[in-house]
Amino acid sequence: MRIAVTGTTGQLVRSLLAADAASVEVVAIGRPELDLAQPTDIRATLARAGADCIVNAAAYTAVDKAESEPGLAMAVNGTGAGAIAAAAAALGLPLIQISTDYVFDGALPRPWREDDGTGPLGAYGRSKLAGEQAVAAAGDNHAILRTAWVYSPFGANFVKTMLRLAESRDELGVVADQVGSPTYAPDLADAVIAVAKALVTNPKDASLRGIFHAAGSGETSWAGLAEAVFAASAQLSGPTARVKPITTTQYPTPARRPANSRLDCSRLAARYGLRLPPWQDSVRACVAELLARPER
C-alpha cells in the first residue's frame, strides 16, 4: 500500500517517513509541487503519486503568528484542506485529515469527545475547524484525526525546547494550569498508518469514517510534562532544570490556549482497536533518542 502525505518537514510527516511499517510505502509531497496556500493542480499532483490513501498533514501551525496572519492560516488550513479533500474525492481515495485540540475552547471539566461542541479561541483553531468542515463537505470517505501537544525528535517542539533551555538555565517557569494529552509523533504515525490500512481495506465501512481523537494516553500539565522530560534526562545524565509552576496569566501569548486539551480517544479504540501508548513512556523514548544525537 502506498500513502501520499502532504508536507515534507513537519513532525508527523517525518515520523511517517521514518516509520517501520510492513508493506507500506510513504511518499511526501510538499512545496513547490504542492502549496496549500496556492492550491493549483492538486488533483494532478496527487494522481501522479499513485497512492492508495492521502494524509493531509501539511498545515500552518504557528499558533501565535496566526493571530496576525489569519488569512494565510485560513488559506492553508481551511481552503487548502478543502482542496485536498476535493481532489481525493475526485480520485476515489480515502483521506486522513490531521486536526487539533484547538478546535475546542477548553472549558469542559472532562476530556473532549468527538461530538462535543467546538469553539476555537483563536485564528489557528478557527482555520483548522474550517478545514474539518471542508473535508466533511467534500465527501464521506475520510477520517479526521484530532491530536494534541505533539512532540518528536524532529523539528521544533516543547520537549526539545525544555532540553535546550536546561543547558543554560537552572530553573524554568512552566505553565501548570493547562492540561492535555502529550502525543509522540512516531506513535501518531503508527496510528495513521493503521487507519489508512483500514480505510483502504474496508471501503464501505462507515464506522471507520468521521472524526476521531488520537492522542497519547493519560494527561498532564505543561509543567508536569517538563518534569517528566527532566526526570528522563537525569537518568541519562542529560540536562535538567527545576520546574517552577506558573499560571497562564504569568506567561501571556498572542493566542489564547485551551485550558483543557484532554482528548477522549475511546472512539478510536472502539472502531480501530487503536490506543496510543502512555505519554510517560513515549517521553522517555523521545528524550533518549534526542540525547543520543550529537546535536539537538
Q: Is 272 a catalytic residue?
A: no
State the virtual CA torsion across 64, 70, 73, 77 in degrees, nearest 10.
Answer: 120
> In which element (H, E) is residue 184 found?
strand 183-184
> What is the residue type of 16?
L
DSSP state letters, 36-60:
TTS--SHHHHHHHHT-SEEEE----
The HSE-up count of residue 142 (CA atoms within 13 Å, CB side) is: 32
Phi/psi at 158 (nearest 5 deg)? -60, -45
Q: How far apart are alpha carbons 134 and 132 in whole angstroms?
A: 5
- Say which of 102, 124, 184, 272 is annotated catalytic: 124
DSSP state letters, 56-95:
E------TTGGGT-HHHHHIIIIIHHHHHHHHHHHHT--E
Query: What is the number of other CB atoms lying within 10 angstroms of the CB of residue 202?
Result: 13
Q: Judge residue 187's burial from the number of C-beta atoms within 10 Å of its C-beta, 0-12 exposed, 13-18 middle, 19 or more buried.
A: buried
Enumerate the active-site residues: 124
